[in-house]
Homo-oligomer: A and B are copies of this chain.
Amino acid sequence: MPESVTFPEIDGERLRALMDGISAFGDTGDGGVHRPAGTTEHGEARDWLRQRFAEHGMRVAIDGIGNLFGILEWAGPDAPLILTGSHLDSQPNGGRFDGAYGVMASLEAITALKAHFAATGEKPRCNFAIVDWMNEEGARYQPSLLGSSVFAGLLDLDYALSRKDGAGKSVREELARTGYLGSDAPPKPATYVEMHVECGGVLEKTGKQIAPFERYWGALKVRIGMTGKQTHTGPTPMEDRHDALLGAAYVITGIRDLGPRAADTLYTSVGRIEVVPNSPNIVPGEAVLFAELRSPEMSVLEWAEAELAKVLDDAAARAGVAVKIQNIDRRPAGRFSESLCRLAEQSAESLGLSRMRIDTIGGHDGIPMLQVCPSVVVAVPSIGGICHNPIEFTPHEDLVNGTQVLVRMLWQLDRAGGDPGRL
């Protein structure tokens, strides 16, 4: 970037007012918000966002799964569209930054861009849109990333609308009730940029200020059932036992041993176990484990899946039980747009901000968006790496830094006609 360039500038106090405004919806009084997808609080927050869109002269569109868009068609109907945003839904009693920050940063960045174009006389080359994705969290409705996955063609619309919460209320019902069961055609983005607070703690630990996500981790989530023979612990000779819990223990320790043997990072876990009859003096006849394998590299996940099969065979043989594995979820690992990662780094550097690339293990709407266009998620620090908790906190300065990075990225993308490959 040449030194003589005049960059658009955001206004920190305006951003602060936006964060305060959105945080009033579902305010839990302890710094957090309770705004699960489709609730009245979520609907009211979205109504507030629509008012902001209207103030900016943005056209509102609500698609079939309730994604909410504010569209600024200032470069003509055929111009490429640059999409930015995040999500306003929260975890139950969640934090005020997770998701909401990305939407507020987008609002502020668009405001700054408008001011910049007005002040400099530059003409925008692209249209812009801000998105509030429906049900990113997956707390009330599973799966998570519901709205962006439907948008990206990864999830069937009718299936998504038919998802029910614990009380039996469907996505369709709750969208209709809150006024967000739409039928508008969504915009077709040329590229997507999302700001988000980091939920890992790497930025805080390393003292860095800005981090584009370079890789997103894949995950294999499985259910492992062990069938032995239910007998009394007293008289049954050891050689006649078929202990499903013992088999489960061999699986748990075997899975733990995979990580150190993997060629790249591999996280493993067994978080849930169910045992039948689970009585102190009965050899367990049945055990079920829920295990997860996570890695940033598909090759490692594929290796781990093959090794897991060996672990299960070994455990079955040692405990004398039968083993059955069932896949629950398979999320591929992958990479965000390299051009957009570099753009985030350059934007941070031009602002004198320290930066690094990091991975994301959790899901973000930017991941399904990779099916549609070049995308990236850029993180700012979150104290202690804490998310999904009312004590989640990011200092205002970091929110400002991130929004400055965002507006520079959006402006550069506009200059490149919405094509990060041309940067």
Interface residues, chain A, with chain B CB atoms under 8 Å away: 199-201, 217, 219, 221, 233-238, 241, 243, 245-246, 248-250, 252-253, 256, 259, 267-273, 275, 278-284, 290, 292, 294, 328, 361-362, 385
* Closest Cβ–Cβ distance, residue A45 to chain B (whole Å): 25
Could you tell me if A292 and B280 are in contact, using CB atoms closer than 8 angstroms?
Answer: yes
Report which of B201, B284, B294, B328 forms a contact with A271, defined as CB distance below 8 A. Answer: B284
Oligomer: number of copies: 2
* Closest Cβ–Cβ distance, residue A262 to chain B (whole Å): 10
Residues of B within 8 A of A200 (CB): 235
Residues of B within 8 A of A234 (CB): 217, 219, 267, 294, 361-362
Closest B residue to A328 by beta carbon equals B280
Q: In the complex the two chains form, what is the Cα distance from A280 to B279 in whole Å?
A: 22
| Residues of A contacting B: mostly | mixed
Q: List 23 A-B contacts (CB under 8 A).
A: A201-B235, A217-B234, A221-B280, A233-B269, A234-B294, A238-B267, A243-B269, A246-B252, A246-B253, A246-B270, A249-B252, A249-B270, A250-B253, A269-B283, A271-B279, A271-B280, A271-B283, A271-B284, A272-B278, A272-B279, A272-B280, A280-B290, A280-B328
Could you tell me if A271 and B233 are in contact, using CB atoms closer than 8 angstroms?
Answer: yes
Q: In the complex the two chains form, what is the Cα distance from A199 to B234 in whole Å?
A: 10
Closest B residue to A292 by beta carbon equals B233
Residues of B within 8 A of A238 (CB): 259, 267-268
Residues of B within 8 A of A292 (CB): 233, 280-281
Could you tell me if A235 and B275 are in contact, using CB atoms closer than 8 angstroms?
Answer: no
Q: In the complex the two chains form, what is the Cα distance from A306 to B276 in whole Å?
A: 29
Residues of B within 8 A of A241 (CB): 269
Q: In the complex the two chains form, what is the Cα distance from A356 to B245 in whole Å?
A: 35
